[in-house]
Structure 1
Amino acid sequence: MPPRRARSGSVASTTSAATGPLRRSSRPSIVPPPVTAPKNPGTPSRKQATTANGRRRRASSVVSDLSEDEDDSDEDGEETATSTGSKKRKASSSSARSGAKASRGSGGKRVVKPKPVRAPIKGINALPARFAAFPPFAAFADSFAVPELPAPEDAPRTVFVFGAGDMGQHGLGTDSTVLDEIKRPRRHVGFEEWIEGGENGWEGGVADLVCGGMHTLAINNEGKVYSWGVNDHAALGRVTNKPDVESEELESRPMEVEQLGSDLQPFRAVRVAAGDSVSLAISENGEVRAWGSFRSAEGLLGFDGSANSSKTQLVPQALRNLDKHTIVQIACGDDHFLALTSTGLVFACGNGEQHQLGRKIIQRHKEHGLTPERLALKNIVLVGAGSYGSFAVDTKGEVYAWGLNTFNHTGVSDEDGGWEEVIVTPTIVRALSPSAHGGARVVQIAGGTHHTLFLFSNGEVWAVGRTDGHEVGLADSHAEMADLAQRKKAVEAERAERRQKFLAEALSADGQTVVRTDDEGNVLPRDEVLAQADKEAERGTEMPNECIAHPVKVDFPLEPKEWEKDAGPADVDEESTEVPQMVQIAVGTRHSFAVSARGYAYSWGVNASSQLGVGPNKDEVDKPTRIMNTALSNVRVVRVETGGQHSVIVGVDREYEDKAKARKQKRDERDADEQKKRDEADAAKGKGKAAEEDQPKENGDAKAAEDTEMANDKKDEAVVENGAAENGDEKADEPKEKLEPVVEV
């Protein structure tokens, strides 16, 4: 077994995290350096930069085009007029921030009254539901027949894990056998035991699941959130450093995030989202809770933009500016997220170094991005994110993109207004418009470090971006890849020609003796001449970027026409022209997944940690390949999620009716065994009690006999006494003794 990788300490309390060496990143790619910030506006004078009370004004970030009726100022900062006509801010207490009102009850005891539950705000976007088979924003075409899934209580959604697990990412515990890489999907025994055993809240299996960089979140049918994986920056939302318990044990097993709500105000989650070290959950009322932390190129950035906040947030909390809205979807990048409201507005929060927040963040005030702010976008029905980029789709189906674009992975090109390494503001990607796809619209967007996938309503998947690891799923024989190879070959030939020309002038005719000299007439060393030749060859001949610069359709292999339990790669209907249609996509750092309508899972890209689930000896998969092994042989895949180096499949057993019967029989047998044990225990207890009752009865009978005898003796005595009394009455006139006569004198 390979040695476990070093890690930093786990979160120990709500106020501090254990210090130590930074953990390894879940993203093996080099984090892009911060983009140089635009020139700052002129610095105001001290008089201009201070308020009446002498405090410095906080620099406001540039948030575009908000009308007065859509102002998103914080309710806690409501202004009130004073008697002098000036304005001052109300002091906001912790109870006001939490939405609870305090009052004095009888005896002066402080009673906290919960804030009334706010009704969800209705709009163009509906709230998602637990156990939704596909993303709530996926509206497939009418001609796209997606087989209906059985109810979760009949066919529970179970979990399969694979990839790197050395840091507890699989949630299988700390045993050495589960810390190695799992090369093919393996059924999660913990969830299986909960489902098979009828554990309260897990009767239907997993209602929603998502992978962060090195952690995973899941929801059960009661809306409770469970977490597992690395907790170095509070991504799990719970303490994992407790006395007498190894932190690895608490991190590597699914456990409940306990402080999402309270008994008075329960928080029942319907969706979860996760970045590299940040986690979020959406409730059935559209409320949001968040925890963890964001990172920047220099390290830990923090969680909240307020001055008194800590770098990490262990206890889930509401976010300013979002508590007045109903949130229906959250998309996470590495260290930023987008939140979509029911009315079609978009808020962005987190690290904005690559302009992924869609607004200007001054470099020296990066923490200002940690407060959610609204973008100048309206009528949005879908949001998506890559590691350092963001996307949104409006009601017309137009796709907007912004953020890092070094490998053209936003899809924005010259025809969209000019290609740039960074797209500063949301820009329409014309190549993804419905008009360019026969009316089909983008219904899901998933991005990695430098590549992006787009799922359309007709079941097609299109990809753009980096391809040197086959991230976009195009084989080397594909026309786009062949064209890229040809362009690279032409540049290499030109460079070779320029190099040869330089060496012909620097070396003698035999190509061995250096004839080039420096300014002082000294012959240059041969190594220096060769280095100059290489530099001259590259000058003016740039190698084409290893990327596909515009969205390209990804092809998938034919599937069996009807479901076959043990169908292999060659088990397809060769005569069928039916093209597989996808219903869900997922993207990791440099790898990708897709799930078909028939319930097959496909993967491609870099497989350095077995995160593709295709088995050993495959460091890279060039095109979509069906994931097949014994564990999935009779499973319909519902969705796939992936993080930095670990992946999770959620699926249902196809023979769910037989499984349900077997599960019911197993539970009945278990209940019968338990009942038998209880009966035997009761019987044993009853015999013991009867024995105890019999012993007192014998003693009681003897005592009763003795009492009867004593009573009879007393009765006899009473009879004798009564007889004596009667005889005494008959002789009452007789003196009891003779008296001497009285002699009178």
Structure 2
Amino acid sequence: MVALKRKTESANGAAKRAKHGSATSSFILHSYSKLPDLNSHVAAKTTPLDVFVWGTGSMCELGLGPNASTKEVKRPRLNPFLTKEKLGGASIVDFAVGGMHTLCLDSQNRVWSWGTNDSAVLGRDTSKVKEKLKEADADSDDEDGDLNEAESTPGLVEGLPEVKEDGAKIVQMAATDNLSAVLYDNGEVYAWGCFRCNEGLLGFLRKDIDIQRTPLKIDLLKNITQLAGGKDHLLALDAKGIVYAWGNGQQFQLGRRVLERHRYRTLEPQQFGLYDIKYIASGDFHCFAISHDNKVYAWGLNQFGQCAFTDSEGNLEDGSLITKPTEIESLSNKNIVEIAAGEHHTLALTASGEVFAWGRYDMKEVGIAREDLPEGTFKDAHGNARSVPIPTKLQFGKKGNDVKMKAVGCGSHHSFAVTEDGFIYAWGFADTYAPGLGPLDEDVEKPTRIVNTATKHHDIKLIGAGGQFSVAGGVKIEDEDEAEDRVDKYEEIDG
């Protein structure tokens, strides 16, 4: 666990009672108002973005409209519904990607959504529009016909205050498989949808609400500065450096043991003894936190070493769990600034632009060439590499080049890193076209740059991914000479 930092010599009495810099949960709860603010509320994003989507959208994930031809997009394609013309002069400035849906924030503080709406994650009613079945004489080879128009086309989330009475604006969104949430710069959180578990529907709030169909303020959360979503759980970080978790905790994603008789208590945000934190992140079933002294902690499912741990003999076991936040010593003090994680793998980005990867190898999620696998790679009985539990630095372009990255992203089994000047490198499971590299015969073993007309002259700023699709946001480089010089630079880097 992480100890709460003590205040300076001028600290109040409550802080002084934290012996040796540590504090109990009861101490934190009873002294909350007297604790110092460690984290600042982030400002709303303002940079206008062109939004690109690709992958398999058979469940409306791509947001390209109902036409059956939009179900498979092999390389990044501009979403035509999210342009200034379509948004009434507004621009998209941010997005969050869930398992099968996406949320987008525009410059007027409105949230747009698209994707599968079975769990009400879109925050709007899509029930009145039905799928159009294929015409008997239609040219398309798709047997299922067109998609649900309301789900496959971006629409406004209903019931969110565009600008709150106190002027607060949305500064972050989070999307799980079955739930959506937004964070305002006054620390308030609104959410809608539900959580699911191994047995099916778990619920939204205690036993009171199974599925929340419109945004609802989470009254138990205050002073929040960051959200992080997993498959069916959420983390929240507050200004005091305290982490909260709620949702499904069957793989210890909530950082604590969940007794069956108390399962509905997991539908309320609770702190679990993790303090002095400045950053949080989550994969499907495993989680991360970075403390103010740059220590990295992990907890949750670890059967592929996705939490970067093995047993005392360097082995992994199916169902392996890290039951409470535990320090990853090999990453601490590396100045990690961003972590992205999929179902069974993880990426970490340093302040200097290096990317480390670890976890499952079966579908090439970690981006390490077979000949470069580190000592300690876990292999099955047949000698086949199964996972890399050791955080390993990735190589981009031909060896000898030192390419710096500014962002990382993970889908369930595919991965991305974005260079400091906005090119995307992709790798991992390729059957669904989610890497954006076109039709491929096998999974992508090592980072490969996306080369396509749509994004060729764009500086990509944001990257995200779901189960079988991906989303990127970028700014077009208007200077043609600058844009071409950038392309030439990376052709040389890639060799």
Q: Tell me whether 1:184 sits opposite 2:75 in the alignment.
A: yes
Q: 8 Å contact 1:401–1:412 — kept in the other structure?
A: no
Report the residue type matching 1:624 in the other structure: P
Q: 8 Å contact 1:401–1:428 — kept in the other structure?
A: yes
| TM-score normalized with structure 2 length | 0.83
Structure with larger Rg: 1
Task: Look up the SS of the partner of 1:369 in the other structure.
Answer: helix
Q: 8 Å contact 1:294–1:336 — kept in the other structure?
A: yes
Paired residue for 2:100, among 211, 214, 226?
214
Question: Residues of 2 paired with 1:67 and 1:224: CA distance?
Answer: 39
Between Structure 1 and Structure 2, which shows a larger proportion of helix residues? 1
Q: CA deviation at 1:579?
A: 0.6
Question: Residues of 1 paired with 2:216 and 2:79: CA distance?
Answer: 30
Q: 8 Å contact 1:72–1:321 — kept in the other structure?
A: no
Tell me the equivalent position of 1:328: 225
Q: 8 Å contact 1:353–1:363 — kept in the other structure?
A: no
| TM-score normalized with structure 1 length | 0.56
1:261-340 paired onto structure 2 within 5 Å: 261=161, 265=165, 268-305=169-206, 307-309=207-209, 311-322=210-221, 325-340=222-237
Q: CA deviation at 1:408?
A: 1.2
Question: Residues of 2 paired with 1:231 and 1:484: CA distance?
Answer: 40
Identity %: 38
How many residues are matched?
441
1:286-435 paired onto structure 2 within 5 Å: 286-305=187-206, 307-309=207-209, 311-322=210-221, 325-414=222-311, 421-434=320-333
Q: 8 Å contact 2:369–2:446 — kept in the other structure?
A: yes
Q: Tell me whether 1:469 sits opposite 2:363 in the alignment.
A: yes
Query: Cα deviation per residue 1:475-533 (whole Å; 9 max; x = unaligned)?
Result: 1111428x759x65xx54xxxxxxxxxxxxxxxxxxxxxxxxxxxxxxxxxxxxxxxxx
Q: What is the Cα-based RMSD across aligned positions, in Å?
A: 2.8
Q: Tell me whether 1:454 sits opposite 2:376 in the alignment.
A: no
Query: Cα deviation per residue 1:57-80 (whole Å; 9 max; x = unaligned)?
Result: xxxxxxx9313452499xxxxxxx
Paired residue for 1:613, among 436, 451, 454?
436
Paired residue for 1:171, among 63, 77, 85?
63
Q: 8 Å contact 2:307–2:389 — kept in the other structure?
A: no
Paired residue for 1:223, among 93, 106, 109?
109
Query: Cα deviation per residue 1:627-652 (whole Å; 9 max; x = unaligned)?
Result: 11111121111121100111111011
Q: Tell me whether 1:646 sits opposite 2:483 in the alignment.
A: no
Closer, same or farther: CA 301–390 of 1 in aligned 2, 3 Å: same
Q: 8 Å contact 1:130–1:208 — kept in the other structure?
A: no
1:1-150 paired onto structure 2 within 5 Å: 65-68=24-27, 70-71=29-30, 123-131=37-45
Closer, same or farther: CA 418–470 of 1 in aligned 2, 3 Å: closer
Q: 8 Å contact 2:423–2:449 — kept in the other structure?
A: yes
Closer, same or farther: CA 264–638 of 1 in aligned 2, 3 Å: closer
Task: Look up the SS of the partner of 1:70 in the other structure.
Answer: helix
Question: Residues of 2 paired with 1:584 and 1:414: CA distance?
Answer: 31
Q: 8 Å contact 2:306–2:345 — kept in the other structure?
A: yes
Paired residue for 1:594, among 417, 428, 431?
417
Task: Look up the SS of the partner of 1:251 in the other structure.
Answer: helix
Closer, same or farther: CA 613–417 of 1 in aligned 2, 3 Å: closer
Tell me the equivalent position of 1:30: none
Closer, same or farther: CA 278–418 of 1 in aligned 2, 3 Å: same
Task: Look up the SS of the partner of 1:609 in the other structure.
Answer: coil
Report the residue type matching 1:184 in the other structure: R
Q: Once superposed, which parts of structure 1, at least 4 consecutive aligned residues long, lie more than 4 Å away?
A: 243-247, 414-420
Q: CA deviation at 1:298?
A: 1.1
Task: Look up the SS of the partner of 1:604 in the other structure.
Answer: strand
Question: Residues of 2 paired with 1:256 and 1:197: CA distance?
Answer: 12
Query: Cα deviation per residue 1:328-361 (whole Å; 9 max; x = unaligned)?
Result: 1111110011101112110001000011100121
